[in-house]
Structure 1
Amino acid sequence: MAEANRRGFLQVTGAALAAGAWAAPATANAAEDGPIPIGFIGPGGMGMNHVRLLAQNKEVRIAWVCDVDANRLKAAADHVEQAAGTRPQTTGDLRRILDDRAVQAVWIATPDHWHAPATILACQAGKHVYVEKPCSHNLREGRLMIEAGKQHGRVIQVGTQSRSTEGIRKGIARLREGVIGEVLVAKAWNSQRRGTIGKQQPSSPPEFLDFDTWLGPAPAVPYRSNLLPGVWRWWHEFGAGDMGNDGVHDIDIARWGLGVEVHPTRIAAMGGKYVFDDDQQFPDTQTVLFEYQNLPGPHSRKQLIFEQRIWSPYVQEGFENGCAFYGTDGLMLLGKTGRYQIFGRRNKLIEEATWGGPDLAAHHRNFLGGIRTGEVQNADVSINHVSTALCHLGNIATRVGRALEFDPAKEMFVGDDEAGRMLKRTYREHWGAPRESV
């Protein structure tokens, strides 16, 4: 039986989670005093947001920075030196960090196709891991990450920082208290205005980029200028579309509020490229419906809905990206940017709260607490795997264009070989390729 099935339903009392995420014990090499030496892998985009916070955090010392882009590598090292007073060692090969026995933890903010390979290698090297979302490039990788963390006794936190944000935790607690009755349907949406990535022909990579190392264990493809940085998200071999990029944050909150800790049993989806005529391979327009069956309690069936329109200049129900929870006695609207509203019968506003948006620093504190004391991780990989799986399942259903039956325990589609092949990926011969035995 999959780990998600064994954990049961998440319970919340007040703003605290009393929850079945697995927590690694505090390890012998976790320093009780002094900063924890860490390595940072992938300091570009969201990665630099982490670097800026960590360089000021007295709980850690950034000992290494790694990037295959020499310009980004230098910029990150310069920032750490200026902010912390000590220049970290630099490398374009993450194995040098993993070989340093003094390093106790790594932050991984690489493109998605490196998330699982780097995490598994780090666990094997005895490092704790903070890895950006989505935790995996494909569903099977998520299960391998969970197994690696358990086998090697490592903490793995995933970068869905809403799980550590007090306002969101309070909103979920109110749902658990029954403020809108039993939540039977949750909806998440990703509605924002993005631009086209255009059409480009293969070309030579710039001199400052080690493109072969960037590819890692993914199948080799030629470089093109609309592949990176950032736009790799829209290519099947490297990303999970915007459903796995921005969408996974709201999907994770929606699943959390819906109170389901298992995979869905049925998935139906429609979508495609309705607006952008470019090289992007993932949908710009997408609607996915997940159905959960045989749940414990008085209501054995629930739904989770995801809507995506990444060409829209309009907010939806007050939020560009948000969630709605439909209960037997009311409705909650919640946006991770810092607000929720609760409506009772006849649309009466009965409660609202605001906060300052996602709390990245709190998420860091939770991860470091896991290393030092075995503190339960708010977004442990076993939690995020179930949310990230929804992105993979939704994208697969959209690609094949038909409803799919899914076995949550076996993590396999029922009677659909074409869809089943998309639950894994083919790796090229490479030192970073995950193995089934980790």
Structure 2
Amino acid sequence: MTDAIVPSRRRFLRSASAGAVAVAAPAIVRSAGESNKIRLAMIGPGGMGSNHLRTLCQRKDVEFLWIIDADLDRAAAGAKVVNELTGQSPKTAQDMRRAIEDPSVEACFMATPDHWHAPGAILAADAGKHVYVEKPCSHNLREGRLMIEAAKRNGVRIQVGTQSRSTAHVREIIEKIRSGIIGEVLVAKAWNSQKRADQGHQPETDPPSNLDYDLWLGPVPAVPYRKTYHPAHWRWFYHFGSGDFGNDGVHDIDIARWGLGVETHPSRITAMGDKLFFEDDQEWPDTLYCGFEYAAASGGKKRQLVYEQRIWSPYVQEGHENGCAWYGTEGMIVGGKAKGWQIFGPKNQLIESLPAKGVDLAAHHENFLSGIRGGGGELHAGIEINFLSSSLCHLGNIAFRTGRALSFDPAKETFHGDEEATGLLRRTYREHWATPQGV
């Protein structure tokens, strides 16, 4: 597949800036007699992408035109799911540009490995597509900022897959916090305690024939293929993922930050972590503790956010494998998105319990699709919102990798006096058609 199959990035940008209409009216507009179905492409139909497909196929207002995956077998499997559930026959391809160049595609769902999230989403936005991208929104902090800029300049909307933001019981507990039920919240904590699998040791080898490994790598520097990378375990390596903090922990740190009420970056970050249990190839720590301090707003107090991770232990805190706690001046709340929430008063008395039944993926889809169809309404996990939460994963990981406390400038999005840490806010790319501008 040559680069000529898709309009150049320069042409995308020129057309996006040619008229204010696209920016002012990002909603999908239908001509008389045209189908009301939103035309979609799924990029990355395996793993979480499969969950998206099966949930979206329950809707009557969407149509899949493309299923894209660098792995031909996965693309074919995704198309088969769509056909069996809806009767639709989407096209398949390994190169995402096939869908991005198609003017009929109105929105892209992107469930690729992390290293493709920002490059793919920016390409789609520059082509005028709305985007639903999996969490974390980016592989590094700088990419997240570029995604915000891409959405703004093209007048499109980007939703991130932290579906707890659209889940009724999570939204209810946040409303309880906002009502002052536990007073002023100064500290929040999120944790991720579960037993993951050992990744073993895999030698360098040739990729399987069904996988276009060069497309799978995308704009990141090429490294030899290992079976550990594909299809699922890329997330445990610096080059492609952000560890379990960006995999599962991002959901809970997002909820915790939401309840804490901070809408900026932290000013100080500390971390301690290691591989205490696993003796395999994975690079990210299996044990991690991060602390984030937020500077006091005008007339307010400092706030702190804590993250704990142990992915080798079945121990669950307060009865929750993954969970959150908020500590207020008049009480505390503890719980999780799977089992619910308990609210305690100033004398440690139980005030209220709120049940939970997991997370509502369909509600998150509805929030995105109604937002792009009508052009209005808040995206519950819009790119500007999720950028701050995904960035916590990146900032905490940087503190772990440098091994020292870091001072961060939230406005300039850079570290004070630390070149090594600042260098980890972005990455090196190879020359490639998907390398984002401004990196």
Give the TM-score taking structure 1 as reference length: 0.93
- Give the conservation status (yes or no) of the 8 Å contact 1:24–1:154: no
Task: Quote the Cα distance in structure 2 between the aligned partners of 1:30 and 1:171.
Answer: 38
- Deviations along 1:238-293, whole A, 9 cap, x unmatched? 00110010000000000000000000000011111111111111010010000011
Equivalent residue number for residue 89 of structure 1: 91
What is the CA–CA distance in structure 1 between the aligned matches of 2:74 and 2:113, rounded to whole Å?
Answer: 14
| Alpha-carbon distance, 1:30 to partner | 5.8
Determine which of 431, 434, 437 is the counterpart of 2:433.
431
Q: Does residue 219 of structure 2 align to residue 217 of structure 1?
A: yes
Aligned to 1:314: 315
Aligned residue in 2 for 1:67: 69
Cα drift, residue 58 of structure 1? 0.9
* Unaligned residue ranges in structure 1 (runs of 5+): 1-22
Distance 2:171 2:365 in 1: 16
C-alpha distance in 2 between matches for 1:300 and 1:406: 18
Over the residues paired in the alignment, what is the CA RMSD in angstroms?
Answer: 1.4
Per the alignment, residue 296 of structure 2 pairs with 294
Equivalence for 1:165: 167
**What are the within-5 Å matches in structure 2 for residues 390-409 of structure 1?**
390-409=392-411
Amino acid across the alignment from 2:284: F
2:27 matched residue in structure 1? 27
Deviation of 1:33 after TM superposition, in Å, equals 5.6
Percent identity between matched residues is 59
| Shift, 1:375, TM fit | 2.0
Where in structure 2 are the equivalents of 1:353-372 lying within 5 Å?
353-372=354-373
* Count of aligned positions: 414
Structure 2 contact 30–36 (Cα < 8 Å) conserved: no
TM-superposed CA distance for 1:28, in Å, is: 5.1
Which runs of structure 2 are paired with 1:227-246 in the superposition (5 Å)?
227-246=229-248
> What secondary structure, in the 3-state scheme, does the structure 1 residue paired with 2:411 have?
coil
Report the residue type matching 2:288 in the other structure: Q
Letter of the 1:367 counterpart? F
What does 1:154-193 align with in structure 2 at a 5 Å threshold?
Answer: 154-193=156-195
Give the stretch that moved more between structures: 24-33 or 69-78: 24-33
SS at match of 2:347: helix
Q: Identify the residue that residue 19 of structure 2 maps to in structure 1.
A: none
Aligned to 2:117: 115
Q: Hey, what's the Cα distance between the residues in 2 that align with 1:144 and 1:408? A: 16
Structure 1 segments, 4+ long, off by >2 Å, are: 23-33
- State the 1:36 CA deviation: 0.6
Q: Secondary structure at the match of 1:347?
A: coil
Aligned mate of 2:419, from 413, 417, 420: 417
Aligned pair in 2 of structure 1 residues 24, 210: CA closer, same or farther (>3 Å)?
farther
CA contact (8 A) 1:24 1:370 kept: no
Aligned residue number for residue 125 of structure 1: 127
Indicate the residue corresponding to 2:390 in structure 1: 388
Give 1:79 shift: 0.9
Structure 2 Cα separation of the partners of residues 288 and 235 of structure 1: 19
Contact 2:318-2:335 within 8 A present in 1 as well = no
- Higher deviation after alignment, 253-262 or 272-281: 272-281
Supply the distance in 2 between the matched residues of 1:192 and 1:25 (Cα, whole angstroms).
44
What displacement does 1:387 show?
Answer: 0.3
Q: Taking structure 1 as reference, are residues 399 and 72 closer, same or farther at Cα in structure 2, changes over 3 Å only?
A: same
Q: Is 24-33 or 68-77 further displaced after alignment?
A: 24-33
Length-normalised TM-score, structure 2 = 0.92
Q: Distance in 2 between matches of 1:284 and 1:24?
A: 46
Higher relative contact order (CA 8 A, sep 6+): 1
Aligned-partner SS, 2:74: helix
| Aligned 1:141-156 pairs, distance under 5 A | 141-156=143-158
Q: Contact 2:72 / 2:210 at 8 angstroms: preserved in 1?
A: yes
Q: Secondary structure at the residue paired with 1:346?
A: coil
For 2:360 and 2:294, locate their aligned partners in 1 and report how far apart those are by CA, in whole Å: 30
Q: Could you list the runs of 5+ residues in structure 2 that have no partner in the other structure?
A: 1-22
In the alignment, what sits opposite 1:19?
none
| Aligned with 1:262 (options 261, 264, 277) | 264
Q: Give the whole-Å Cα distance in 1 for the aligned partners of 2:104 and 2:136.
A: 28
Amino acid at match of 1:137: H
Deviation string 1:25-53 (CA, Å, 9 cap, x unpaired) is 44354679611111000001010000001
- The DSSP-based 3-state class of the residue aligned with 1:280 is coil
Tell me by how many angstroms 1:338 deviates. Answer: 4.0
| 1:308-347 Cα distance to aligned partner (Å, 9 max, x none) | 0000111111110000000001010120114011001221
1:77 is aligned with what amino acid?
A: A
Secondary structure at 2:183 match in 1: coil
CA contact (8 A) 2:270 2:405 kept: yes
Q: Return closer, same or farther for 1:177/1:296 CA change in 2, 3 Å cut-off.
A: farther
Q: How does 1:303-342 map to 2 (within 5 A)?
A: 303-342=304-343
Q: Which residue type is aligned with residue 57 of structure 1?
A: R
Q: Is the 8 A contact 1:167 1:338 kept in 2?
A: no
Amino acid of the structure 2 residue aligned with 1:303: Q
